Amino acid sequence: MYSKKVMDHFTNPRNMGVIKDPDGIGEVGNPVCGDIMKIFIKVARKPNIGEFISDIKFQTLGCGSAIATSSMITELAKGRSLKQAGEITRDNVASELDGLPPEKMHCSNLAADALKKAIKNYKRKKKEGRNAERKKEKKRGGDRKI
């Protein structure tokens, strides 16, 4: 039996859709049922918390629990620092939804894993951007010496 909150998030999902120019994307699939989930994030910076999730959206091809957990995780992550958002677990998501049937707990893995992947993807892109910048700087420096 699903809780009222699960039904609410399933029938009226929050933050569903795509961010056109995301800072990070996380995509995961459930090998057992074949369901797929994508999470898109935008990252901004505030002096008091540092980098935080300023916008988040999801696309889910999956069951009602997968949609409800995606919707809930976007609400939990929005406005949180990257560190706090990365620490959200499947149990956090399930308990915010007032529980999921035991046989549906695996569905909440998708949401937590997709968010973690999106944050990882953002960090990787940022690092690659910094490395490319360093290479350009080095090249410019090298060009000047000639």
Pick the closer one to ligand FES by CB: 34 or 141. Answer: 34
Note whether 15 binds ligand FES by CB under 6 A: no
User: What DSSP letter does each residue of 46-109 carry, written as one string?
Assistant: ETTTEEEEEEEEEEEES-HHHHHHHHHHHHHHTTSBHHHHHT--HHHHHHHTT---GGGHHHHH
Return the residue matching tokens 């910076």.
Answer: 45
Question: Of the ranges 59-67, 82-90, 114-122, 134-142, which one interacts with ligand FES (CB under 6 A)?
Answer: 59-67
Binding mask 101-140 for ligand FES (x = CB under 6 A): ------x--x------------------------------
Closest to ligand FES by CB, 89 vs 131, is 89
- Residue 61 contacts ligand FES per CB under 6 A: no
CB nearer ligand FES, residue 63 or residue 125: 63
Q: Residue 120 is encoded by which pair of tokens?
A: 């990882």
> Annotated catalytic, 107?
yes
Total residue length of the chain: 146
Question: CA of 13: how far to CAs of 53, 57, 134, 137, in Å?
Answer: 19, 10, 42, 46
Contact criterion met (CB below 8 Å) for 113 and 60: no
Cβ nearer to ligand FES, comparing 23 with 113 = 113
Q: Are 82 and 107 in contact (CB under 8 A)?
A: no
Catalytic residues: 33, 107
Q: Which residues form the interface with ligand FES (CB under 6 A)?
A: 30, 33, 35, 62-63, 65-66, 107, 110
